[in-house]
């Protein structure tokens, strides 16, 4: 009859248990990586002509969405200039892209203020504002962080995320561009999705 060494048996059990625990701990969890990114969604805001605009007004076009404000000292002017350059570089393909600038400072960014600001950069950029609740709802849909800094009623800044989002023709998230992404990089990404070639 085969006799099993108790010490050896315990060692084997220990090694097997350790291996199982290691496997469970370091096996990728697919449920956490699959599915669509939870960025983007419905919004209802006011354009610089005072008209109600929703996300559905941009269906059929790719969207470049940026959140910022007109009193922003550096990031917003730089990124809006980059968007304007992107639209110029797209040439004929620019007609298939809708660049949208949504304020995170509705207190100061009235439709008149916003109209003057975006038109000074590029007439093709759509500026959107709204009530504080409407702006907060749009920012929440795009996972945008913003917070008023300073206690003044007029002399204050707004800390905010500095991403430009590329959305597809149905308003779904494709990718985003970090602050100071070169316009040529954005143009390349946009043209890939216009042509439908997403493999390169």
Per-residue pLDDT at 30: 30
Which tens digit of pLDDT belongs to each residue from 140-178? 999 999 998 876 677 899 999 999 999 999 999 999 999
Q: Which fold has domain 44-195?
A: Glutaredoxin (3.40.30)
Q: Which residues pair with 129 in a beta bridge?
A: 46
| Tens-place pLDDT, residues 31-71 | 233 346 689 999 999 999 999 999 999 999 999 999 999 99
Q: Is residue 17 over pLDDT 80?
A: no
Q: What is the 3-state secondary structure (H, E, C) of the chain?
A: CCCCCHHHHHHHHHHHHHHHHHHHHHCCCHHHCCCCCCCCCCCEEEECCCCEEEHHHHCCCEEEEEEECCCCCCHHHHHHHHHHHHHHHHHHHHHHEEEEEEECCCCCCCHHHHHHHHHHHCCCCEEEECCHHHHHHHHHHCCCCEEEECCCCCCCEEEECCCEEEECCCCCEEEEECCCCCHHHHHHHHHHHHHCCCCC
Separation of alpha carbons 186 and 179, rounded Å = 12
Predicted TM-score of the model (pTM): 0.79
Which among 114, 129, 125, 37 is positioned nearest to 79, based on CA atoms?
Answer: 125
Which backbone phi and psi does 130 adopt, to 5 degrees?
Answer: 165, -170
Q: Which residues pair with 103 in a beta bridge?
A: 68
Phi, psi of 153 (to 5 degrees): -80, -20
- pLDDT tens profile 85-124: 999 999 999 999 999 999 999 999 999 999 999 999 999 9
pLDDT confidence of 3, banded at 50, 70, 90? low
pLDDT of residue 37: 67
């Amino acid at each position: 009859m085969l006799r099993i060494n108790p010490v050896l048996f315990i060692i084997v059990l220990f090694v097997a248990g350790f291996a199982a625990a290691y496997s469970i701990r370091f096996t990728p969890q697919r449920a956490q990586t699959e599915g669509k990114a939870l960025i983007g969604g419905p919004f209802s805001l006011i354009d610089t002509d005072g008209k109600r605009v929703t996300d559905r007004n941009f269906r059929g076009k790719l969207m470049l969405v940026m959140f910022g404000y007109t009193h922003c000292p550096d990031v917003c002017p730089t990124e809006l200039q980059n968007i304007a350059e992107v639209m110029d570089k797209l040439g004929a393909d620019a007609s298939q892209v809708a660049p949208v600038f949504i304020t995170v400072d509705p207190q100061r960014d009235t439709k008149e203020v916003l109209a003057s600001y975006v038109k000074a950069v590029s007439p093709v950029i759509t500026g959107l504002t709204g009530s504080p609740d409407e702006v907060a709802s749009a920012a929440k849909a795009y996972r945008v962080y913003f917070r008023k800094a300073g206690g003044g009623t007029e002399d204050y800044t707004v800390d905010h995320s500095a991403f430009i989002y590329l959305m597809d023709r149905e308003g779904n998230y494709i990718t985003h561009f970090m602050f100071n992404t070169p316009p040529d990089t954005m143009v390349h990404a946009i043209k890939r999705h216009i042509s439908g070639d997403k493999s390169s």
